[in-house]
């Protein structure tokens, strides 16, 4: 127990005993009038059973607010209620006066328990035989709203509330205490339900929902309507019963005039007005709705669904609204309604921050977030995972060559074809990358080992399902990958071999003032810097003179890789500058319908259109680090043991001495794009 609590208890035991006794005796009278009979000893026991120091205020909750990188409000994440606590200075005098007039006319005279009011209520209830008045003060109502939650109409509740209200007055004494009680009450009392069913708690939310204004700017007739709601929020709800709401409002205005808060003429003028409801979009207006849903999921993963529903968080994110506009402009330039959809993700490779997440699909048409949820076959953009694995093994891409033979049977049921169907002859890995040759990369994948390719993909940031089979190196994944995954993977290259944690939330502020950074910048070195530098060098050549020429940024150095899946159902461009990674994708979201596009077409053009205006200060020379490798000597390499001939890779007995046996790679594993399924 704190020192302050001990002092309060001491005062209660000494000077406050008589006052509490009076409260209890008066409550006996109320109890007798309401319940018929009550024993003094029972009442004492009930009162002794509660103590304000042992109670914890309820967390009423409120919507969480999400902000963009520049501090612009994106919108709210709603739980079960609408609430925005504000200070007394942010509440109009009208709402304070109207509340006192209708809920507790002797609020400024009594000390938490209104003895006069209790006697008056007891007498009326006794003479009528019904519970017409409860004599609850604002302090007693606040105890109910904030601490006990009691809703029964028994004398026991009255006794508990009277005892606790008396203690509350000691905790918050004097005029300032009254201000605290009224402000806290106005921030915690229910004001009915909005049209969307959410409960409105507190005067600020009520002002927003009913009149599209703030508590500070409430006009007299508006304040009177709101002040009349707490006694029966459903009965007086202006959406459900406008006539009753109007009558209740006018009654509040009459009481304000009777008690001297306003003049009779002011009351008459306000009573002559209509309710004046004004539909508000304050709580429903949202920007970047797909990203907001993404943030809600991130918060749920971090703090749990219960905490997110409770709300009250101030969430600061990484999204750049200017780049969002630039992304949509680039997408709009290259995509038309009725055709395939486009998606674009951009990330800072040094921090892992998501700066852009946009698509051509409006939120109203589909809440499915293509950049973050759309898992699609990555096509040849996944060949870079093979290249990263090969260089990690020390294979020199300049000196290691393979013979490109379209349709060469490498494993039973698997004969990868080049995109054009023609064979490219002997070429090193640099040229094979620029040509995006399927035949060469299929052989390289088997030489390196599909399990090592999977390991490289994981170390780059791919989290989707991988089976460690050869077709995956050509983009034939079971479930596919999202553009966001690919952005993280290519960020590992751009960041010199360091895999970064993806970050969308920079800071979370809690209602109690705590500040947390749940997604701190964190990188892990997963590749040697020389490997990343060499792959970047190759990908830069691909933009300069390979399949990615449409993505060239002129004097701004860029690197990237195209990807096209079987039947042109998906097309990609994955590229980066020194300080920015962007992934561009095209496809039909709900089918594998052909787009008629290759990665070097619209995806690369969209990437270029976006990056030319969004690149900012991300340009510059790529970091250089030495790479030392040797000639690859795998089974299929031209200079290796396999000789690169037409051998299907298997011995006569159906096994493979170098470990790639047929029983390890069943033909069914290769029934995925971009290659034709086995016969």
Q: Which of 126-130, 156-160, 246-250 shows the lowest mean pLDDT across its residues?
A: 126-130
Q: What's the CATH number where 122 sits?
A: 1.10.3810.10
pLDDT surpasses 70 at 381 = yes
Question: How far apart (Å, rounded) are the C-alpha atoms in residues 192 and 234?
Answer: 6
Question: Is residue 265 domain-shared with residue 376, that is, in the same domain?
Answer: no
Residue 128's contacts (CB-CB under 8 Å, 6 or more residues apart) are none
Residue 662's contacts (CB-CB under 8 Å, 6 or more residues apart) are 411, 412, 650, 654, 655, 656
Lookup: tokens for 673: 């794009």
Q: What's the CATH number where 369 sits?
A: 3.40.710.10
pLDDT surpasses 50 at 301 = yes
pLDDT surpasses 70 at 36 = no
240, 271, 302 — which closes off a domain? 271
Give me the number of domains the chain comprises: 2
Question: Is residue 389 domain-shared with residue 249, that is, in the same domain?
Answer: no
pTM for the structure as a whole? 0.82
Token look-up 């790529």 returns 622
Q: What is the pLDDT of residue 413?
A: 87
Question: Is residue 103 domain-shared with residue 233, that is, in the same domain?
Answer: yes
Residue 86 lies in a domain: yes
What DSSP designation does 623 have? P
Residue 311 lies in a domain: no
Residue 319 lies in a domain: no
Residue 12 lies in a domain: yes
Q: Which of the two residues, 298 and 25, has the higher pLDDT score?
A: 298
pLDDT band of 676, cuts 50, 70, 90: very low
Give whichever of 89-93, 113-117, 646-650 has the largest mean pLDDT.
Answer: 89-93
Question: Is residue 447 domain-shared with residue 555, that is, in the same domain?
Answer: yes
Residue 308 lies in a domain: no
Residue 6: phi and psi, rounded to 5, are: -65, -40
pLDDT surpasses 50 at 661 = no
Tell me the pLDDT tens digit for each residue of 1-16: 455 555 555 444 444 4
The Cβ of residue 362 has, within 10 Å, a number of other Cβ atoms equal to: 9
Q: Is the omega angle on the peptide bond into residue 14 within 30 degrees of 0, that is, cis?
A: no
Question: Is residue 252 domain-shared with residue 374, that is, in the same domain?
Answer: no
Tell me the pLDDT tens digit for each residue of 38-53: 444 555 555 555 666 6
Question: Is residue 254 domain-shared with residue 388, that is, in the same domain?
Answer: no
Residues of the domain holding 591: 345-670
Q: What is the pLDDT of residue 266?
A: 97
Question: Is residue 266 domain-shared with residue 363, that is, in the same domain?
Answer: no
Lookup: tokens for 205: 């939310």
Q: Helix %, strand %, coil % for the chain, to 5?
A: 45, 15, 40
Question: Is residue 261 domain-shared with residue 354, that is, in the same domain?
Answer: no
Residue 194 lies in a domain: yes
Question: Is residue 364 domain-shared with residue 235, that is, in the same domain?
Answer: no
pLDDT surpasses 50 at 644 = no
Q: What is the pLDDT of residue 159?
A: 73
271, 295, 321 — which closes off a domain? 271
Q: What is the pLDDT of residue 675?
A: 40
Q: Which of the two residues, 118 and 395, has the higher pLDDT score?
A: 395
Question: Is residue 363 domain-shared with residue 241, that is, in the same domain?
Answer: no
Q: What is the pLDDT of residue 31?
A: 52
Question: Is residue 22 domain-shared with residue 133, that is, in the same domain?
Answer: yes
Q: Which of 10-24, 275-289, 345-359 shows the lowest mean pLDDT across its residues?
A: 10-24
| Contact yes or no for 59/74 (Cβ under 8 A) | no
Question: Is residue 223 domain-shared with residue 367, that is, in the same domain?
Answer: no
HEC profile of 174-208: HHHHHHHHHHHHHHHCEEEECCCCCEEECHHHHHH
Residue 277 lies in a domain: no
Q: How far is CA 309 from CA 73, 80, 321, 504, in A?
A: 19, 7, 26, 20
pLDDT surpasses 90 at 603 = yes
Tell me the pLDDT tens digit for each residue of 60-71: 888 999 999 999
Tell me the pLDDT tens digit for each residue of 178-208: 999 999 999 999 999 999 889 999 999 999 9
| Contact yes or no for 560/551 (Cβ under 8 A) | yes
Residue 327 lies in a domain: no
């Amino acid at each position: 127990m704190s020192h302050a609590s001990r002092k309060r208890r001491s005062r209660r035991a000494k000077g406050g005993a008589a006052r509490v006794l009076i409260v209890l005796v008066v409550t006996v009278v109320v109890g007798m009038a309401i319940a018929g009979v009550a024993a003094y000893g029972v009442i004492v026991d009930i009162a002794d059973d509660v103590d304000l120091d042992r109670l914890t205020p309820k967390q009423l909750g409120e919507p969480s607010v999400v902000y963009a990188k520049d501090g612009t409000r994106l919108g709210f994440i709603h739980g079960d209620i609408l609430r925005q606590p504000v200070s007394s200075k942010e509440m109009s005098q009208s709402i304070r006066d109207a509340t006192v007039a209708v809920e507790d006319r002797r609020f400024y005279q009594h000390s938490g328990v209104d003895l006069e009011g209790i006697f008056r209520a007891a007498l009326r209830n006794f003479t009528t035989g019904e519970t017409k008045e409860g004599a609850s003060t604002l302090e007693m109502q606040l105890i109910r709203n904030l601490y006990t939650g009691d809703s029964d109409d028994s004398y026991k509740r009255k006794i508990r509330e009277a005892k606790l209200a008396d203690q509350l007055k000691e905790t918050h004494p004097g005029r300032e205490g009254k201000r605290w009680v009224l402000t806290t009450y106005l921030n915690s009392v229910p004001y009915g339900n909005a049209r969307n069913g959410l409960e409105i708690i507190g005067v600020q939310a009520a002002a927003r929902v009913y009149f599209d204004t703030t508590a500070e700017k409430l006009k007299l007739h508006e304040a009177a309507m709101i002040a009349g709601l707490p006694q029966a929020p459903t009965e007086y709800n202006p959406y459900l019963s406008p006539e009753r709401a109007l009558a209740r409002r006018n009654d509040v205005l009459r009481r304000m005039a009777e008690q001297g808060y306003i003049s009779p003429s002011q009351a008459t003028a306000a009573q002559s007005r209509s309710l004046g409801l004004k539909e508000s979009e304050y709580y429903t207006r949202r920007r970047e709705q797909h990203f907001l849903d993404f943030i809600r999921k991130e918060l749920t993963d971090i703090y749990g669904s219960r905490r997110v529903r409770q709300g009250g968080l101030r969430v600061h994110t990484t999204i750049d609204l200017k780049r969002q506009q630039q992304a949509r402009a680039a997408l709009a330039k290259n995509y038309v309604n009725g055709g395939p959809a486009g998606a674009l993700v951009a990330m800072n490779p040094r921090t892992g921050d998501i700066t852009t997440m946009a698509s051509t699909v409006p939120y109203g048409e589909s809440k499915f977030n293509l950049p973050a949820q759309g898992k699609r076959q990555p096509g040849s953009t996944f060949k870079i995972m093979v290249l990263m694995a090969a260089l990690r093994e020390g294979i020199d891409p300049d000196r290691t060559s393979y013979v490109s033979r379209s349709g060469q049977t490498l494993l039973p049921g698997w004969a990868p074809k080049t995109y054009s169907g023609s064979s490219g002859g002997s070429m090193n890995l640099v040229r094979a990358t620029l040509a995006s040759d399927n035949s060469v990369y299929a052989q390289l994948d088997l030489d390196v080992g599909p399990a090592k390719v999977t390991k490289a993909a994981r170390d780059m940031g791919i989290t989707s399902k991988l089976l460690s089979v050869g077709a995956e190196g050509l983009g034939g994944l079971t479930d596919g990958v999202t553009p966001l995954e690919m952005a993280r993977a290519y960020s590992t290259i751009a960041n010199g071999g360091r895999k970064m944690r993806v970050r969308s939330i920079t800071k979370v502020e809690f209602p109690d003032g705590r500040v947390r950074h749940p997604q701190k910048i964190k990188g892990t070195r997963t590749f040697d810097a020389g490997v990343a530098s060499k792959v970047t060098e190759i990908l830069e050549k691909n933009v300069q003179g390979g399949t990615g020429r449409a993505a060239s940024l002129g004097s701004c150095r860029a690197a990237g890789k195209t990807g096209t899946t079987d039947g042109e159902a998906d097309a990609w461009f994955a590229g980066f500058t020194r300080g920015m990674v962007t992934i561009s994708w095209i496809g039909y979201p709900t089918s594998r319908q052909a787009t008629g596009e290759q990665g070097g077409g619209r995806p690369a053009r969209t990437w270029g259109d976006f990056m030319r205006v969004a690149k900012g200060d991300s340009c510059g020379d790529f970091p250089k680090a030495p790479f030392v490798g040797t000639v690859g000597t795998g089974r299929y390499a031209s200079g290796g043991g396999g000789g690169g001939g037409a051998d299907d890779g298997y011995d006569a007995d159906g096994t493979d001495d170098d470990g790639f046996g047929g029983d390890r790679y069943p033909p069914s594993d290769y029934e995925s794009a971009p290659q034709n399924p086995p016969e």
